[in-house]
Amino acid sequence: MAEIFAMPKLGMDMEEGVVAQWLKAEGDTVKKGEPLAEIETDKSCVEVESPAEGVVLKIFLAAGETAPCGTAIAVIGAAGEPIPDVTAPAAETAAPATAPTAAPAAAVNSDLFFLMPKLGMDMDEGVVSKWLKAEGDTVNKGEPIAEIETDKSVVEVEALQSGVLLKIYLPEGESAPCGDPIAAIGPAGTEVPADPKAAMAAAPAAAPAAAPAAAPAAAVNSDLFFLMPKLGMDMDEGVVSKWLKAEGDTVNKGEPIAEIETDKSVVEVESLLSGVILKIYCAEGESAPCGDPIAAIGPAGTVAPADPKAAMAAPAPAAAPAVPAAAPAAAPAKVAAAVKTGVAAKTPGGRVRVSPRAARLANQNGVDVSCIIGSGEEGRIVEQDVANYIASGAAATATAAVAAPAACRVPTETVEPINTVRKVTARRMVQSLTEAAQTNHRVDVDTTNLMNFRKQVNAKLEKDGIKVSVVDLLAMACARALIEHPMANCYMMPDGLHMHNYANIGIACDTPKGLMVPVIKDADILSITEMAQASRAVINKARKGELKPADMSGGTFTISNLGMFEIDSFTAVLNPPETCILAVSRTQDKVVVENGQMVIRPMMNLCLTYDHRVLDGAPAARFLETIKHYIENPVWLVV
C-alpha cells in the first residue's frame, strides 16, 4: 500500500514549506524514519523522515519549490506499485505537532454554555480553529468538541457537559475572550438565547439581588474571625497552603493554625484567638486578600456567619451603642492580623517615629521598632502596633535579633536616579540583545611572543616616552584581522550590509561615569607608535570624562578587556550595529602540551561574540583564528 508523503506542518504557524533538498531520489529505497527531505520553513531548515519503508515511487515537488502543508509531495511504496491519486490532500501528515490528549479543565459557570476555555495563565482569548461537532450533533461530556488555538498551541478541548450541540456562537477561525460562551449544549429542543453573554450576565444577577435584601448581614463581633494576615509590606493576598486545624478543633491563642503562602514564602501563622474552629472560609489552595476573614473561631456552639465579610462590614459599634464596652473591644482583633512591617517612619532628624510607650513595650520584648510601620499620626509607631507585631509572630525574628543584631537589619530600598550613561548603556544593551543573533566562540591564546614583542618595542620607544599596552597590540591584531574578514567588520542595516574598508576599534572603558567606548580610527593602518598614542589619547579622555561624541562614533569593532581582573573568561554584548566584539580575559600561566611536552605558557582567553545574522560559525571561527594568529605571531603586526 503506497504511503503518501505530505508537506509536513512543522510548526503552529507554518502554512507552507519549501523542499530545500531531496535526500532520496525517485527509485531510491528508504527506510521508515530515514531522512527523506530537507524542508525549509520561514524559521528553519529541517530534515524530515520518511513515514514508511519502501521505494520513493514519485516526487511531486521539485527541490526549491513550495507547497502548502498537507499537500502530497512524494509517494513511497513497493517497487512497481501504481502511484495513487494525490489530488486530494493527505489525510494524515507527518506533522509532529499533535494536540495534547488531555484537555485542560475550563471553568463553566452556566450549564447551558460552553465557554472559551482558559488554557494557560496568560491566555486571554482563543480562536476556534475547528469545531469537531456540528450543530445538532450529540456530544458527551469528555468528548472532544473543538480545537482551540492559542498564541502558543492548538489544543483539542472536551465538552464539559453532555447534550446536543444546540448552537455554535463562534465560527471557526474567529476568536473570543476566555470565559465567553462559544456554544450552547443542552437537551434537544432547548431554546438558546441569541445573545449568550447577555443571558449569562442576567442569570447570576437574579439570585444575589434577592439574598441581601432578604437577610441583611447581622452585626457580628469581629473577634470571631481569623483574618488573612499581612505577612509583608507588599503582601496583598495569601494562599492557605495548609490548615493545621480542622473545623471543630480547639485552638489556643498562639498555636499554629495554618500555613500561609505568599508569593515569597510559606509561613506558619498562629491563632490570635482561642476557641473552637467554627468554620473555615478559605479552603486549602485558595487565596484571600489580607484582612479578609478566613476562619471563624469562638466558643463551641457559636454560629459562624455564612458571609463573614458582610458580617464584619456590618457596623457593629453603631448597632450596639448601648453597650459601649463591646465596641472598642471589637476593633483590635481586626487590626491584630494586619501588622505592617517594613521600614518605620522617621522624624526629620532621622529617628524612628515611635511613641515612648511603644518604644518601652518594644524594648521589653526585644523588638526592633525600625521594622514596624506605625499606624499613628505621621506614621508614628504606637503601643498597639508593637503589640500587634509581637502577636503576629513577626517579633520572633526581632527577638532572635537581640542575639544576632545582623538579623534585625531592616531591608531598605532607595531609588537612585539613572544617569545618562547608564540609560544609554541600558537601552543599547537591550537593543543589542533583542536585535542581533549573538553567539560566541572562545579560544585560549599563547601570549609569550606578544609579551616579548611588547617588551622589546617598549624598550625601544622608552626614550620617546611612549608605552605600548597589550590592548594596543590586541587592537592592531583585531584591526588587521577585520580587514582580512570584511564580514566581521560590517554593519547589518535594513538597506543591506554596510561594508568598511577601514577598521575603527572601540575600546570599552570603565569610567567614573560608566561604560564608555572611545574609538581608535583607522586602527588597521596605524603604526605601533601611532596606535599607542591614539589609544592613550582617547582612553585618557574617557577616564577624565572628556570624550566628545566624535571620539565614540564610527567604531566597526569593539574590544572589551577585563584582563586586569581575575576573570578567566566572559562574553561581551555586541555594540550595535557592529557585528563582533572581543572579550579579553586575564593572562594566566597554564600548562599546555607542546610537542608532547607539558610546558607552562601565559595563556589569555578570548571570547568573540558575533552576530549570527551576519556571520556564520565557520567564518567567525576563521576570524578568531586570524586574531589568535596575530597575537601569537606579533611580528606580522609590523610586516
Which residues are CB-contacts of 538 (< 8 A; sequence separation ≥ 6)?
Answer: 507, 518, 519, 520, 547, 551
- If one asks whether residue 343 binds other proteins (CB under 8 A), the answer comes out as no
Stretch that binds other proteins, among 93-101, 259-267, 351-359, 579-587 (CB under 8 A): 351-359
- If one asks whether residue 357 binds other proteins (CB under 8 A), the answer comes out as yes
CA distances from 302 to 292, 297, 408, 523 (A): 20, 9, 41, 88
612 is catalytic: yes
Please tell me the distance from the alpha carbon of residue 632 to that of residue 358, in angstroms, as a whole number: 72
What values do phi and psi take at 107, rounded to 5?
A: -75, 130
Select 351 or 357, whichever has its Cβ closest to other proteins.
Answer: 357
- If one asks whether residue 237 binds other proteins (CB under 8 A), the answer comes out as no
- If one asks whether residue 332 binds other proteins (CB under 8 A), the answer comes out as yes
- If one asks whether residue 334 binds other proteins (CB under 8 A), the answer comes out as yes
616 is catalytic: yes
Q: Which of 439, 433, 436, 432 is nearest to 619 (CA)?
A: 439
- If one asks whether residue 377 binds other proteins (CB under 8 A), the answer comes out as yes
Q: Which three three-digit cell numbers place residue 177?
A: 475572550
Exactly one of 28, 498, 616, 629 is catalytic; name it.
Answer: 616
Report the first-to-last Cα separation within the chain, whole angstroms. Answer: 71
- If one asks whether residue 374 binds other proteins (CB under 8 A), the answer comes out as yes
For residues 574 and 432, the answer to whether their CB atoms sit within 8 Å is yes
Please tell me the distance from the alpha carbon of residue 290 to that of residue 312, in angstroms, as a whole number: 14
| CB of 299 vs other proteins, minimal distance in Å | 22
**Three-class SS of residue 388?**
helix
- If one asks whether residue 355 binds other proteins (CB under 8 A), the answer comes out as yes
Q: Are strands 45-49 and 35-40 parallel, antiparallel or unpaired?
A: antiparallel
- If one asks whether residue 385 binds other proteins (CB under 8 A), the answer comes out as yes
For other proteins, the binding residue among 34, 261, 307, 383 (CB under 8 A) is 383
- If one asks whether residue 349 binds other proteins (CB under 8 A), the answer comes out as no
For other proteins, the binding residue among 141, 152, 242, 360 (CB under 8 A) is 360
Please tell me the distance from the alpha carbon of residue 330 to that of residue 321, in angstroms, as a whole number: 13
- If one asks whether residue 358 binds other proteins (CB under 8 A), the answer comes out as yes
- Cell 587592537, residue? 475
For other proteins, the binding residue among 321, 350, 417, 549 (CB under 8 A) is 321
For other proteins, the binding residue among 154, 314, 359, 421 (CB under 8 A) is 359
- If one asks whether residue 217 binds other proteins (CB under 8 A), the answer comes out as no
- If one asks whether residue 348 binds other proteins (CB under 8 A), the answer comes out as no
For residues 345 and 379, the answer to whether their CB atoms sit within 8 Å is yes
Stretch that binds other proteins, among 156-164, 356-364, 574-582, 614-622 (CB under 8 A): 356-364
Stretch that binds other proteins, among 28-36, 379-387, 447-455, 514-522 (CB under 8 A): 379-387
Question: Letter for the amino acid at 86?
Answer: V
Which residues are CB-contacts of 594 (< 8 A; sequence separation ≥ 6)?
Answer: 601
Under rule CB under 8 A, how many of the chain's residues touch other proteins? 29
Q: Where are the beta strands (DSSP E) in 132-253?
A: 138-139, 144-149, 154-158, 163-168, 175-177, 181-186, 225-227, 237-243, 250-251
- If one asks whether residue 380 binds other proteins (CB under 8 A), the answer comes out as yes
For other proteins, the binding residue among 335, 443, 515, 621 (CB under 8 A) is 335
Q: Where are the beta strands (DSSP E) in 391-494?
A: 438-446, 491-493
- If one asks whether residue 328 binds other proteins (CB under 8 A), the answer comes out as yes
For other proteins, the binding residue among 338, 429, 451, 567 (CB under 8 A) is 338
- If one asks whether residue 324 binds other proteins (CB under 8 A), the answer comes out as yes
Q: Which three three-digit cell numbers place residue 248?
A: 471543630
Binding positions for other proteins, 282-301, rule CB under 8 A: 291
Which residues are CB-contacts of 532 (< 8 A; sequence separation ≥ 6)?
Answer: 461, 466, 467, 468, 469, 472
Please tell me the distance from the alpha carbon of residue 80 to that of residue 29, in angstroms, as a whole number: 12
Stretch that binds other proteins, among 69-77, 207-215, 354-362, 607-615 (CB under 8 A): 354-362
For other proteins, the binding residue among 150, 222, 384, 447 (CB under 8 A) is 384
Hey, what long-range contacts does 56-60 have (CB within 8 A, 24 or more apart)? Answer: 56/24, 56/25, 56/26, 56/27, 56/28, 56/29, 56/30, 57/2, 57/26, 57/81, 57/83, 58/26, 58/83, 59/22, 59/25, 59/26, 60/86
Select 55 or 330, whichever has its Cβ closest to other proteins.
Answer: 330
| CB of 382 vs other proteins, minimal distance in Å | 4
Select 348 or 356, whichever has its Cβ closest to other proteins.
Answer: 356
What secondary structure letter does DSSP report for 564? T
Stretch that binds other proteins, among 4-12, 355-363, 436-444, 528-536 (CB under 8 A): 355-363
Please tell me the distance from the alpha carbon of residue 169 to that of residue 427, in angstroms, as a whole number: 46
| CB of 336 vs other proteins, minimal distance in Å | 8
- If one asks whether residue 317 binds other proteins (CB under 8 A), the answer comes out as yes
- Cell 507547497, residue? 67
Q: Where are the beta strands (DSSP E) in 90-139?
A: 113-115, 125-131, 138-139
Select 217 or 329, whichever has its Cβ closest to other proteins.
Answer: 329
| CB of 305 vs other proteins, minimal distance in Å | 20
For other proteins, the binding residue among 171, 208, 301, 356 (CB under 8 A) is 356
Select 387 or 481, whichever has its Cβ closest to other proteins.
Answer: 387
Stretch that binds other proteins, among 29-37, 168-176, 301-309, 328-336 (CB under 8 A): 328-336
Select 294 or 358, whichever has its Cβ closest to other proteins.
Answer: 358
Q: Is 108 exposed, middle or buried (0-12, 13-18, 19+ CB in 10 A)?
A: middle
Stretch that binds other proteins, among 209-217, 352-360, 451-459, 621-629 (CB under 8 A): 352-360
Report the run of H or E that residue 606 belongs to, with start and end.
strand 597-611
- Active-site positions read 612, 616
Tell me which residues touch other proteins (CB under 8 A): 291, 317-318, 321, 324-325, 327-328, 330-332, 334-335, 338, 355-360, 374-377, 380, 382-385
